[in-house]
Amino acid sequence: MRWEERYVSVVYEGGHSLFFQRFVQATDATSLVIVSPWIQSLDDEALSLRDILWTIQKCGVPTTVIMRSPDKEPLNRSSVVLFEGSPFVTLYYNNELHAKVYVCRCQPFGFALLGSANLSGRATRALEIGLMVEGKGAGRRVIEELETLGKEDIPNRAGTVLRKLVPDRHIS
């Protein structure tokens, strides 16, 4: 199989952890999309949400987060507090959300995780399955499509509510 054809692999263990380990080491990350119904602070994990947000802040990565509202899912409260404190995060709620998609655009090409794992501590230990897509060869279109899904398609659906824009997009 040629190099650019090897653009997808199955992730059997660790849920989302492989994706975020790669994100914090990514070169010139320009965009991060997190789509997960349940998001927790991951305080007891090797890589916590604070660590992820620190990388977002340090590298100035425009980030779009779509999750269920904490009014419907109280477990999401701690993460919402953290997201609201980050100037680089645009936050949406959609209470019908069930997809779990994580996309990072960086050099030399982006990568994405599409699977069953929520961004929660439990997901790193539970039986989760995912596909890690590399943005090379045919995978490039997949990454672009998944990024558009997170940045435009789900945000522009009827059931999605804008919670917070990043300050430079703030609409008074």
For binding to another protein (CB under 8 A), which residues are involved? 2-4, 108-109, 136, 148, 152-153, 155-158, 161-162, 168-172
| Number of residues written out for the chain | 172
- Measure Cα distances from 76 to 9, 95, 121, 136, 168 in Å: 29, 12, 12, 34, 25
- Nearest to another protein of 41, 63 (CB atom): 63
Question: Distance between CA 49 and CA 129 in Å, rounded?
Answer: 21
Q: How far is the CB of 141 from another protein (least distance, A)?
A: 10
- Nearest to another protein of 40, 90 (CB atom): 90
Of 118, 129, 125, 99, the closest CA to residue 39 belongs to 118
Q: How far is the CB of 116 from another protein (least distance, A)?
A: 26
Q: How far is the CB of 48 from another protein (least distance, A)?
A: 30
